[in-house]
Chains A and B, each alone.
Chain A
Amino acid sequence: DADVTQTPRNRITKTGKRIMLECSQTKGHDRMYWYRQDPGLGLQLIYYSFDVKDINKGEISDGYSVSRQAQAKFSLSLESAIPNQTALYFCATSGDSDEQFFGPGTRLTVL
């Protein structure tokens, strides 16, 4: 079984809808991250969390919110989706070293 899982893997939604992307990990890591990837723009950090009580904004947090329900779970919400939030979203974790472990990604399309 994968160490970092994301659901859903693909989602098509309409402008204005609320969307939640979920991430779970079995690695026992405290640090979890949400990234967005657009073609030609690499990975941009949306939010990150160092434990259930510590949530931090990344470079592109506007229009997004997160919830760290437990050490193993970190959810990303789009309160009112817009077309320019169409992208590939990755969850990642890290532990004692700087190596990050990525989930398989969620491809989100906002019509």
Chain B
Amino acid sequence: EDKVVQSPLSLVVHEGDTVTLNCSYEVTNFRSLLWYKQEKKAPTFLFMLTSSGIEKKSGRLSSILDKKELSSILNITATQTGDSAIYLCAQTTSGTYKYIFGTGTRLKVLA
């Protein structure tokens, strides 16, 4: 059964630190991997990575897909208290539009 595993489960850092969040997937017929940020309620989209787009960047956030290792990382540099959230990753597979989510990483950034 397809599975997405995120690590660490939780993380506490201070403002200005750089963090790396991990997401590994076990899936055949991979199509895409997505990262979401969830603050108080609904998840909001950050990045989508595919076999043809393995690196994305937006401001202080960046993400890389490692197809060989079946994993992805989300980097946040110069963290701010507003980065405090749960970060979710999800993968999709070819031939279906189901999404398999990991359990998330809870990030807390202290002032």
Contacts and interface: CB of A to CB of B under 8 A. Distances in A.
Interface string B94-111: 000111111110000000
B42 A94 contact: no
Interface of A is mostly: strand
Interface residues of A, number: 24
Interface of B is mostly: strand
B48 A33 contact: no
B75 interface: no
Interface string B1-23: 00000100100000000000000
A62 interface: no
A42 B99 contact: no
A40 B103 contact: yes
Interface string A95-111: 00111111111000000
A64 interface: no
Contacts of A45: 98-100
5 contacts: A33-B99, A43-B101, A58-B98, A94-B97, A99-B48
